[in-house]
Amino acid sequence: MKTPRSAATGEERLIARHFRPLATHPGALGLIDDAAVLSVPAASELVLTVDAVVAGVHFFPGDPPDLVAKKALRVNLSDLAAKGATPAGFLLSLALPQSVDDRWLKAFTRGLRADAKAYGCPLLGGDTDRTAGPITISIAAFGTLPKGAMVHRSGARTGDRIVVTGTVGDAALGLALRRAGNARPWRLRPRERAHLSARYLLPQPRNAIAECIRKYATAAMDVSDGLAGDLGKLCAASGVAAIVDVARVPLSPAARRAVAAEPRLIEMALTGGDDYEILAAVPPRAVAALRSKAKAKGVPVTEIGTVVRGKPAARFRDREGKQMLFKRLSFSHF
Amino acid sequence: MKTPRSAATGEERLIARHFRPLATHPGALGLIDDAAVLSVPAASELVLTVDAVVAGVHFFPGDPPDLVAKKALRVNLSDLAAKGATPAGFLLSLALPQSVDDRWLKAFTRGLRADAKAYGCPLLGGDTDRTAGPITISIAAFGTLPKGAMVHRSGARTGDRIVVTGTVGDAALGLALRRAGNARPWRLRPRERAHLSARYLLPQPRNAIAECIRKYATAAMDVSDGLAGDLGKLCAASGVAAIVDVARVPLSPAARRAVAAEPRLIEMALTGGDDYEILAAVPPRAVAALRSKAKAKGVPVTEIGTVVRGKPAARFRDREGKQMLFKRLSFSHF
């Protein structure tokens, strides 16, 4: 329970030293108030999301603190991107074990500060507590977009194309690699191993194309729990089915080599988590425009399937047109 | 690390069963989307706050789950009240150990639902994760108020009166009582013991008078880390000093009896945490109006001191006019 300590200002010092430099938004009030204040332009509305990362669950306790900070923020930025929203700021809730020292916090806030700047998403406020458990970082992030413009999961219509950004499965393979330790499986080159590991360690959210998603997608979400399961959720929300040609699902060269060495890995790639790509349904006539606009922003978009009438579900076909059955559709903590 | 489990929809089932019934706000989208959406009226702005409660730090692991839920929400509602904001909704981030079962969650969400309704602060979205540590509940709460109307900590001016709502120190004494177990100190009657314990277990945030605070206070904050330290923070933010007459600080009958039995407890009452009352600076001419308007809402307001020129600090005088020196000013986790 709360045990007062002699240095009453320990928490204030911690905030002043590590977090105040991040409070660049005027509404953060230098982190000296109980709350932050945010204006939302009259023609806009606010998009709100929250995601936590927990040591031992979402990252390894020994991961570099600056990358842990970036991951914690980016998993939220990815949600904003998929909804078509422009980042406006975030609140940070930290539960820290005694083992976390000044050096860890310094690196953590360095990472957080860099990404807050890079993505235009400043710290608005926060809360820091002690825990007897693992480091727990919960971030609530806010974005804005024109009123009524949020891209929901529920808007996919029969005939829409299913598209996905970037490549799928890298992070899941990267996690498997880390678990394998020195076993070095799948005949990967060092550069390929590094690529997959980096994709697990640090998501690359697609905020650069949030506006394109808003303009062209009928439905969208970020792929955080695995393509197969997440597409299933989009289908359920939209009341449609989707058929995906697995051969069209974009894999990185590293993932392709791993799957070539061990074909069953395709299931890991399609159902593993942490991709943080955008999955969207797009009317056929809009696919080319989305691809070209996104490409101009440096984001590859690949058409992988079609929305069809039928019992809401995501169906994956192999090269022979046979439906693939997965042991599990996506990651779940519960 | 993330280990996919066979039941891919465990998390979805948990959300559907326990949390969807709370998602009464249309912007929560039934909790089936990546994010929530919130409109802020053109003449208003948003007030944002975040506070976490951790088992073993802010509550006892065996506390009734419905009261834990209410405490987690109310510590945030208290911040909104002190800023003069009307609750608009909240995001919930839960980290749960394996030991948390369906029954715990059922009671937890029952409490959360009751308070969300009572305070007009609906669930907008959330995130649920596993943790190897204690139950960790982080809530980000949002309120609205007319643009520019937020009551800051920094507005106190020389000559203002210092006022506080309700009574101070009950929760700190209640916590001490719980720690004392069967020792039953301070010659308290059963009803008085119950009063103090209840004040620790369940804050009573002062949202009923948010509008009065907005109208009359030049500066305000909620008292969560102890009156002495929190008033010190208000003084620091405002660049003023404050002198408080300890004899005027409102104590409940239970706290008065405890202090009578053991005079050193006055320090615990003035520096202990978890009061969740509102501390405010009010121009002298506005004190009577604030007191009468607040009284009409069922909230007692007591004048306890004065804002003076000087080195920013809160000074507490005893009955003889002598300055009291505390071992510590307020609670801090760090």
Q: Which of B217, B220, B234, B209 is CA-nearest to residue B286?
A: B217
Q: Does B9 score more than 70 pLDDT?
A: no
Cβ distance A46 to B37 less than 8 Å, yes or no, reads: yes
Cβ distance A91 to B233 less than 8 Å, yes or no, reads: no
Q: Which amino acid is at B237?
A: A
SS3 state of residue B128: strand
CB nearest A32 (choices: B8, B35, B237): B237
Band (A13; pLDDT cuts 50, 70, 90) = confident
Round to whole Å and give the CA distance between B27 and B35: 9
Round to whole Å and give the CA distance between A86 and A181: 39
Q: Does B146 score more than 60 pLDDT?
A: yes
Q: Which chain B residues are within 8 Å of A273, Cβ to Cβ?
A: 2, 4
Q: Mean pLDDT over residues A149-173, rounded?
A: 98
Q: Does B6 score more than 70 pLDDT?
A: no
- For residue B45, the distance in angstroms to the closest alpha carbon of chain A comes to 5
Cβ distance B34 to A82 less than 8 Å, yes or no, reads: yes
Q: State the pLDDT at residue B263.
A: 94
pLDDT digits (tens, 9 = 90+) for A248-274: 999 999 999 999 999 999 999 999 989
Q: Which chain A residues are within 8 Å of B236, Cβ to Cβ?
A: 32
Q: Which of A115, A126, A100, A142 is CA-nearest to residue A19?
A: A126
Cβ distance A125 to B50 less than 8 Å, yes or no, reads: yes
Cβ distance B334 to A128 less than 8 Å, yes or no, reads: yes
Q: Mean pLDDT over residues A50-77, rounded?
A: 96
Identify the residue whose tokens are 């509602």: B77
Q: Which two tokens stand for residue B204?
A: 């009573």
pLDDT digits (tens, 9 = 90+) for A187-209: 999 999 999 999 999 999 999 99
pLDDT digits (tens, 9 = 90+) for B195-224: 999 999 999 999 999 999 999 999 999 999
Cβ distance A54 to B332 less than 8 Å, yes or no, reads: no
Using CA coordinates, name the residue in chain B closest to A133. B133
Using CA coordinates, name the residue in chain B closest to A58. B1
Q: Which chain B residues are within 8 Å of A36, Cβ to Cβ?
A: 47-49
Q: ipTM greater than 0.90, yes or no?
A: yes
Q: State the pLDDT at residue A1.
A: 42
Cβ distance B236 to A32 less than 8 Å, yes or no, reads: yes
- For residue B114, the distance in angstroms to the closest alpha carbon of chain A comes to 22
Using CA coordinates, name the residue in chain A closest to B10. A334
Band (B13; pLDDT cuts 50, 70, 90) = confident
Q: Does B309 score more than 60 pLDDT?
A: yes
Using CA coordinates, name the residue in chain B closest to A144. B37
Q: Which of A276, A273, A255 is CA-nearest to residue A329?
A: A273
Q: Mean pLDDT over residues A294-323, rounded?
A: 96
Cβ distance B50 to A222 less than 8 Å, yes or no, reads: no
Round to whole Å and give the CA distance between B315 and B240: 11
In this prediction the pTM is: 0.95
